[in-house]
Amino acid sequence: MKLVKRIVTFLLVILVFAAAAVAVIYFTQNKETKELTYNLRKNTNGSYVELSGGVTHYELDGPDSGRVVVLVHGFSVPYYIWNGTYEYLVAHGFRVLRYDEFGRGYSDRPDTVYNKELYTDQLKELTTKLELKQPISLVGVSFGGAVVTDFANTYPDIVSKVVLVDPVFNFGKPDALPQITTIKEILNADKRASGQMDDFKYPDKHPTWVDQYIPQMEYKGFRHALVSTQFNYNFDPKESYGKLNNLHKPVMLIWGKDDKTVPFTFSNQLNGILKSEFLPVEDAGHLPFLEQEDIVNPALVTFLKK
The angle formed by the CA atoms of residues 123, 239 and 165, to the nearest 5 degrees, is 55
> What CA dihedral angle connects 101, 66, 305 and 239, to 10 degrees?
30
- Phi, psi dihedrals of residue 59, rounded to the nearest 5°: -140, 135
Chain-centroid distance of CA 156 in Å reads 21
Residues sharing a CB contact under 8 Å with residue 196, sequence separation 6 or more, in sequence order: 76, 77, 209, 210, 213
To the nearest whole percent, how much of the chain has pLDDT over 90?
89
Encode pLDDT of 140-172 as tens digits: 999 999 999 999 999 999 999 999 999 999 888
pLDDT, tens digit, 9 for 90 and up, residues 196-247: 999 999 999 999 999 999 999 999 999 999 999 999 999 999 999 999 999 9
What's the pLDDT score for residue 30?
Answer: 87
Average pLDDT, the chain: 93
What pTM value is reported for the model?
Answer: 0.92
**Which of 111, 148, 109 is closest to 127 using CA atoms?**
148
Distance CA 247, CA 101 (A): 25
**Residue 113 neighbours by CB under 8 Å, 6+ apart:** 228, 232
- Encode pLDDT of 186-202 as tens digits: 999 999 999 999 999 99
